[in-house]
Amino acid sequence: MWSWVLHRITGVAIYFFLLVHVLDTAMIRVSPDAYDAVMSTYKNPIMGLGETALVIAIMFHAFNGLRIILIDFWSKGAKYQRLMFWVVIGLWIVGTAGFAPIHLYNVFTEPH
Amino acid sequence: MSAIIESPRQPQQRASKGRVNWEKYGWLYMRASGVLLIILIFGHLFVNLVQGEGIKAIDFAFVAGKYATPFWQIWDVVMLWLAMIHGSNGMRTIVNDYASNPLVRRILLGALFVAAVVLIVLGTLVVFTFDPCSTLIPADQALSFCPAP
Ligand code: HEM
Ligand code: HEM
């Protein structure tokens, strides 16, 4: 139940990000300065926290999506769905622990 | 509102012959695209956010370097199509679940469809018409490897 709610919320969040993201990438067809200007907004600390949250949301959606797929197609999927939920949570924590420090470091330190 | 509960022995309504079962293909598409998107999106995030200086390194020259190879052009366009259709189809399910007013529902579904078509066309054109040395780029912003105009 909660996995379904989270799957839905993360799916919607990623969808709206993607709408904006295609538009910001389109700035490369406008001019180098226009593109660098949008990208500089992605580099400020508040956006950096948002990007961290976005990637954490994608990781949940992706791992839980795989779990849904296994439940539907793997003959033992339904039997192990509860166990797989905890595997999803585990992968999610490991993925977050791997990603967040690297990204936050990049966001909060000066480039060298 | 009174609900009509059909007799459990009622034979299941068959999809009439010759009709395409779109919902079934949509359901399958969500799963097939999901598996591919894991690879495409995780690869995208790794190269853009984790490798090197991550987000700090992204600028016009970074993208020009990636789009100089067909590999990343195709990667991005496949990711664009799969993710836009997956996301829009997922949003369609959600709209169908919550929008009870038929007019509101029609408007929202129409908006999802238009947004998907516009962004897929725009994103595809951006990738394939991108020219880092376009003569439209002001000289003071041009990349160093571009021939002088
Ligand atoms: C904060 C995280 C992200 C950053 C910094 C980022 C950065 C970029 C950059 C620099 C490009 C230009 C070309 C390239 O490098 O390949 C790009 C293009 C693209 N990104 Fe991302 N991205 C992020 C997250 C995502 C996510 C989560 C998705 C999928 C849902 C995605 C989908 C795309 C697509 C489809 C394109 C091609 C757009 C087009 O065809 O015009 N990105 N991204
Ligand atoms: C990273 C790889 C991804 C995987 C493995 C994945 C997997 C799935 C699966 C299996 C479903 C359930 C479909 C169903 O119940 O019929 C789903 C739903 C959904 N996905 Fe994804 N997805 C991924 C990426 C994305 C992206 C990039 C977006 C947004 C652009 C997105 C947005 C949605 C939405 C809005 C739903 C509908 C949720 C609902 O009906 O509750 N997903 N996804």
pLDDT per residue rounded down to tens, chain B (149 residues):
567 776 666 666 665 667 888 889 999 999 999 999 999 999 999 999 999 889 999 999 999 999 989 999 999 999 999 999 999 999 999 999 999 999 999 999 999 999 999 999 999 999 999 988 877 777 777 777 777 66
Question: Would you list which residues of chain A are within 8 Å, Cβ to Cβ, of chain B?
Answer: 8, 11-12, 14-15, 18-19, 22-23, 25-26, 28-29, 31-33, 35-36, 39, 42-43, 48, 51, 55, 58, 62, 65-66, 68-69, 72-73, 99, 102-103, 106-107, 111
Contact in structure between A58 and B41 (CB atoms under 8 Å): yes
Rg (CA), chain A: 17
What per-residue confidence (pLDDT) applies to B40?
98
- Considering CB atoms only, which of A32, A107, A111 is closest to B60? A32
The pTM for the full model equals: 0.91
Residue B91 Cβ contacting ligand 2 at under 6 Å: yes
- For chain B, helix, strand, coil in percent to 5 are 70, 0, 30
Pick the CATH number of B25-131 from 3.30.70.380, 1.20.1300.10, 2.120.10.30, 3.40.50.11540: 1.20.1300.10
Q: Is B8 helix (H, G, I), strand (E, B) or coil?
A: coil
For B109, the token pair is 């579904």
CATH number at residue A44: 1.20.1300.10
A51 and B49 in contact by Cβ < 8 A? yes
Q: Which atom of ligand 1 is nearest to the CA of B76?
A: 37
Residue that the structure tokens 């180098």 belong to: A32
**Tally of domains within chain A:** 1
List chain B residues with CB under 8 Å of A43: 55-56
- Intervals of chain A under pLDDT 70: 111-112
List chain A residues with CB under 8 Å of B92: none
Q: Is B49 on the interface with A (CB under 8 A)?
A: yes
How far apart CA A41 and CA A50 sit, in angstroms, is 12
CA angle B101, B102, B107 (to 5 degrees): 100
ipTM: 0.93
What per-residue confidence (pLDDT) applies to B4?
74
Give residue A16's domain range: 2-108
How far apart CA A63 and CA B84 sit, in angstroms, is 19
> How many CB atoms neighbour CB B3 within 10 A?
4
